[in-house]
Amino acid sequence: MSWETWIAYAVATEVLLIIPGPTVLLVVGYAITRGRGPALLAVAGSCLGIACAFAITFAGLGAVLTASATAFNVMKWVGAAYLVYLGIQMWRAKAETLLEPDAAAAKSRQRSTFVHGFVTTILNPKIVMFLVAFVPQFMNPAAPAMPQAVIMSATFVALAFLSDGTYVVFASKARQSFLGARGMKWVQRTGGAMLIGAGLLTAATKRVS
């Protein structure tokens, strides 16, 4: 892959990533309810999900997902239901537990945010479909495929972490203005609404034929 091709790929990837989608709504929701640390773990989980999506794409399974309406719809509705479930959980959580969680609860919450970030990303069929359509445009068919796949995957993951991490930083700063229990209650419901909205956004995704 030439430098010119890599730069074009990186720019196109960043343009895609800065557009808010289900993952951005997820990490922003966690940033304003749980703080920067747990939200960054959700970003890390999402990045692992992206890496797995690349592996699925290059293994040829992405083409199957693109061609199968049933597989697409199953992934879409499971992912949407999962996000709505997380949103309802966040909406119903007690504000006091968000402000002063005990050590065990805080550790469990950190693990859960990583898992949620991963599952939300891997269950988004639009990501795999996008990679199937997007990645080949920047690959040189005359060059070995594996080195190009590794470079493109690493670039996408790094830019995703920077982009989503930036959203987290700004959202966590806004959280500092709502440190009281009453303020956190509204923040918590806002975060829950974001996750429910992310679920609805996923449910509205249509397969491109």
Tell me how far apart the alpha carbons of residues 68 and 62 are, in angstroms, rounded to a whole number.
Answer: 10
| Joined tokens for residue 103 | 């050590």
Tell me how far apart the alpha carbons of residues 72 and 191 are, in angstroms, rounded to a whole number.
Answer: 27
Q: Do residues 84 and 195 make contact, with C-beta atoms less than 8 angstroms apart?
A: yes
pLDDT for res 207: 58
pLDDT for res 19: 78
Q: What is the pLDDT of residues 55-90, one digit of tens each?
A: 888 877 666 666 666 767 777 787 778 778 777 877
Q: What is the pLDDT of residues 29-56, one digit of tens each?
A: 888 777 788 889 999 999 999 999 888 8
For the stretch 99-126, what's the b/e string if a residue is b when 16 or more beta carbons lie within 10 angstroms of its beta carbon?
Answer: eeeeeeeeeebeebbbebbbbbbbbbbb
Task: Enumerate residue ranges in the chain where pLDDT < 70.
Answer: 61-69, 71, 93-110, 175-188, 191, 202, 205-209
pLDDT for res 50: 92
Tell me how far apart the alpha carbons of residues 177 and 172 are, in angstroms, rounded to a whole number.
Answer: 9
| Joined tokens for residue 10 | 């990186």
